Amino acid sequence: MRDRHANLARIRSLDPERDHLEIYQTMLRHEFCWDLRLGLNLAFNRSFSIPEIAAVHTATGELTQRTRKRIDDTGLLMYEMVLNGFDHPRGRAALRRVNQIHRPYGIGNDHYRYVLGCLVVIPTRWIDRHGWRPTCCHERRATHALYRELGRRMGITDIPETYREFADWFDAYDAAHLRPNDDAAAIERATRELLLGRLPRPLAPIGDALVAALYDDRLRAAARVATPAWPVRAGLHAGLRVRAWLLRHLGRPRTAPLFAGGVISTRTYPDGYTIDQLGPADTTDSRTTGGGAVTASRPDPD
């Protein structure tokens, strides 16, 4: 049996600034596969709920009318950059596609910083609260360094210099700007269906309450979601604690990484995709295919 903390020991031997990509890949593909992916989903949900950002998304209809494709595209672009790095042809193509998608909308720097902060802070806090172990300082520093580099390559300025500073800035901005709004409510209703589809069938009768229990009070208020009854909230968190205990004491490191072979499958693209397919069609730029036109094959059932 491999040591449960073998990956953590290796992470602590690395430099979180120089080796931030390797550390983050280990977190995603070995240590916190489910937790980090769910944390990223919650991060995007939160970023979609700021009134000005929510208004952009409802105006395009990408999240309310083409929800499955929009969510799959967002995840694929993110994972292409994380699996390959920003300097790999596929990573460069994915980053270029991200910038093309956002360019027409005149999004302000603070809103970009907030989205970046969601990606840094929300998954980390989820893992610290519900993961089989909390993140270590190397993992927090590497997470910050990875997204700071993504922000730099997207032209985002004034990114806080440390994880702690970014978390403090995020909390202040979130408290001041995450307010109840109809656009966030419409997006939440659309994206909720995707989360409900992942629940085991016996939990379907309380599915809406379980999804709402994943949110905190401020996000529920912004999206006009009712607070679920305390037994649902308590039951969810008790189940997550049991899961964490089992993974901590009985689990072992994965032998095969998440996304084995570097290939990702989604319902939107069951037979593979090219990077220039991702995102709204009217923002496609022919330059994207440089490194992005390689079709992803169907992955191993990992």
Domain boundaries, the chain: 8-189+204-270
Report angle CA 284, 115, 156 to the nearest 5 degrees: 75
- The answer to whether the CB of 300 falls within 8 A of the CB of 119 is no
Find the mean pLDDT for residues 62-75: 93
Contact 65, 79 (CB under 8 A): no
Tally of CA atoms within 13 A in the half-sphere of 232 that contains its CB: 17
In this predicted model, what pLDDT tens digit does every residue of 287-297 receive, in sequence order? Answer: 444 444 334 43
**Are 56 and 105 within 8 A, CB to CB?**
yes
Please list, residue by residue across 69-91, b when 16 or more beta carbons sit within 10 angstroms of its beta carbon and e when fewer do.
bbbbbbbbbbbbbbbbbbeeebb
Query: pTM for this structure?
Result: 0.91
The mean predicted confidence, pLDDT, of the chain is: 91
Q: Which residue has the higher pLDDT, 254 or 149?
A: 149
CA–CA gap between residue 69 and residue 61 (Å, rounded)? 11
What is the mean predicted confidence (pLDDT) over 20-27? 98
Task: Check residue 16 and give its pLDDT.
Answer: 98
CA distance 154 to 112: 9
Confidence of residue 283 (pLDDT cuts 50, 70, 90): low
Over residues 91-144, the pLDDT tens digits come to 999 999 999 999 888 889 999 999 999 999 999 999 999 999 999 999 999 999
Q: Does residue 12 carry a pLDDT above 50?
A: yes
Is residue 232 exposed (0-12), middle (13-18) or buried (19+ Cβ within 10 Å)?
Answer: middle
Give residue 212's pLDDT.
96
Token digits of residue 14? 């690395």
pLDDT band at 199 (very low <50, low <70, confident <90, very high): confident
| Residue whose tokens read 């950002």 | 53
Q: Contact 277/269 with Cβ under 8 angstroms? A: yes
Rounded distance between C-alpha atoms, residue 288 and residue 274, angstroms: 10
Contact 60, 258 (CB under 8 A): no
